[in-house]
Structure 1
Amino acid sequence: MTISGWMLALALAVQTAPQAAPPVDRQRAPDTVDDIAVTGVNAEAVNAFVGELLEPARLGRNAGQIARWNDPLCVRVIGGEPDVNTRLGEQIADAFRSLGAPLEEGYCRKPNVMVVIADNAGGFARVVTQRYSNRLFGMRRQDMAEFANPARPVRWQHRTRTTAIRRSAAATMVAANLQGSKDAAAADLPNSRLSLSTAEEIDRALIVIDPRRLDNVPSRGLAAYVAFAVMLDLPQLPDVVGADTILNLFAPGGPTELTAWDRALVAGVYAVGVGQPFTNQESQITRDMRRSLVDAALTPPAP
């Protein structure tokens, strides 16, 4: 049975604000021009944001990498009323599109993103950790404990895998020559401190929503939150208090849509070169994110 089938069976079993612009000084002489001041992005804040939300998959900071999706996303929502499932699924897909994620259009026959709306979200999460401790969690006890507890509006878990990096014919031939192999197709570049021959991919994501803890947040805000959590292999309980991110959707006055920081982080993760150790990827993403945030600050808002 596929993971989507397991999730559906389990679900059925367990379910018994930007600041206002300053006022214009109309007394100022018309021939004067205000100086334009560009405020730089706080580098420490960006470093802290990236460091909190990104972590290496399984193998640690030196050998591990940042896991990303490589296949089109196929999302299915179950557990709620049919119209709720359909509407939320469409809104999540819209949020994916806004982030540039490839989608499998039409009816999702084999979902790789399963969103479960569970009235007894805690009970459902505990059953998942017990039944799929290896297949979904890789027997990582800390991940299982954090997924099951504490109670919160939305939980997530990704399943990742290590894959060989697809190389061009020229790169394969170079690898064969370096290794003295006559079989170019089987040859691969060796791992080093600067380059790895493998990449980490996300191939499944499970999202569990507790409808009793949504606090009347807008459905599109919830969809944006879910999409952000799906796109990145986030830690279970990130500390983002005070940060400008959709992950603060449930905090008083929190954003209800993807922020410039969210978009810059996702863009950086999916632009970074594969085959690099985590520390190199993290540094590159941090640099790209700073540039993106500066560009966003200099871009005038759409009319």
Structure 2
Amino acid sequence: MIRHFMAIATLPLGLLGAGGVLAQVQDPQEPAATYVDDLIVDGRNISQAARAFVEVVAEPPPGTRAARWNRSLCISVTGMRRDFAQYLIDRMSVVALDAGAEVDGPGCQPNVIIQATGDGRALAAELVEGAGLAFQPSINGTNLGRDALNDFLTSDRAVRWWHVSFPVEPDSGQIAIALKGQAPPTVTVRDASRLRSNIRYDLGYVVIVLDMSRTEGVPFGALADYVAMTALTQVDPMGDFRGEDTILNLFQPGIEVGALTQWDLDYLAALYTAPTNRASAAQQARDIAQRLAGLRRDGLVDAEP
């Protein structure tokens, strides 16, 4: 089974079910040329690079703080062949567990809803029309608002996503805002200050649409990692990530990335271990960046011969 999944992960999506071998014979009299990857020199120190990475990747709704899964993920995949769907769920589960999140098993109530299709725009329109309040823009800062919703509807990207997050009372897990048709909740004030908040922000659910007509040539394992990154953290769908070492550049022309980078993995670990009770988004972002910088330094030390 493991060998089967590994084989799936390395197949370009446009070549699933087909294969080929290309052999190149060199003149034995000519020395073989050696090619090396381009060397990129980053003049920033680790702390500066970590702050920049967090600033570019993290995109919570205005007036809120970065959310994460503080309850178990339940991943559902439809519109895809069963073995590929299972690989996607398994790969996302491994990434989530490594980051520090929890994952539910079969029979759970889905909160990570992934749908594959040959027409992403049409499916997005169908979902928004049919789901109603699930896509309602800007209900008390639960999502990125109308511009992001319009992008979800009209984008030509291979992957589009819609996050909904909620402020939550940490002790009870009760949502700390009034949803439509419900009475305002009562939130207990304990030790709030200019540094600490009485609430945290939880991801409530995420809807991800995969337009398979736009993934030709993309290895399925790389696609699975890309989807995992967008499911586990609030990412700006209109963000420009070209200056960072991240799987989010998977569909960026001229940039080769085939899996979650160490920056991605360390960022997720930092997000899922940073305190959730900071009073401001800026302070929380600093906490995450500091943890990310520490993980990067530790990784560089471990990598030294």
TM class by smaller structure? 0.7 to 0.9
CA distance in 2, matches of 1:227, 1:220: 11
Q: Which amino acid aligns with 2:131?
A: Y
Pair 1:217–1:186, CA change in 2 (3 A) = closer
Q: Which has the larger radius of gyration?
A: 1
Alignment check: 8 A CA contact 1:215 1:250 kept: no
Deviations 1:151-203 (A, max 9, x none): 11111111111111228xxxxxxxxxxxxxxxxx9842264432211111012
Match of 1:76 in 2: 76
> Which of the numbers 257, 260, 277 marks the counterpart of 1:258?
260
Q: 1:191 to 1:249 in 2, by over 3 A?
A: same
Equivalent residues in 2 for 1:231-242, closer than 5 Å: 231-242=232-243
The equivalent residue for 1:110 is: 109
Structure 2 unaligned residues grouped into runs of 5+: 1-34, 139-144, 173-185
Instruction: Tell me, yes or no, if the aligned pair for 2:98 and 2:269 is still in contact at 8 Å.
Output: no
1:219-234 counterparts in 2 under 5 A? 219-234=220-235
Which of 279-288 and 127-136 deviates more? 127-136
More displaced 10-residue stretch of structure 1: 235-244 or 224-233: 235-244
Aligned 1:27-176 pairs, distance under 5 A: 41-58=45-62, 60=63, 64-105=64-105, 107-132=106-131, 134-139=133-138, 140-166=145-171
Distance 1:269 1:20 in 2: 30
Question: Which amino acid in the other structure matches residue 84 of structure 1?
Answer: F
Report sequence identity in percent: 25
Q: Secondary structure at the match of 2:303?
A: coil
**Matching residue of 1:174:** none
Runs of 4+, deviation exceeding 4 Å: 17-21
CA distance in 2: counterparts of 1:212 and 1:18, whole angstroms: 33
Paired amino acid for 2:89: G
Separation in 2 of the partners of 1:42 and 1:282? Answer: 15
Q: Provide the alpha-carbon RMSD of the alignment.
A: 2.8
CA distance in 1, matches of 2:190, 2:201: 17
Q: Is the 8 A contact 1:67 1:233 kept in 2?
A: yes
Cα distance, 1:255–1:191 mapped onto 2, change above 3 Å: same
Q: Distance in 2 between matches of 1:108 and 1:155?
A: 26
Equivalent residue letter for 1:45: A
Query: Matches of 2:192 and 2:295 in 1, distance apart?
Result: 31
Instruction: Report SS of the residue matched to 1:144.
Output: helix
TM-score by length of 1: 0.73
Partner of 2:303: 300
The aligned amino acid for 1:292 is L
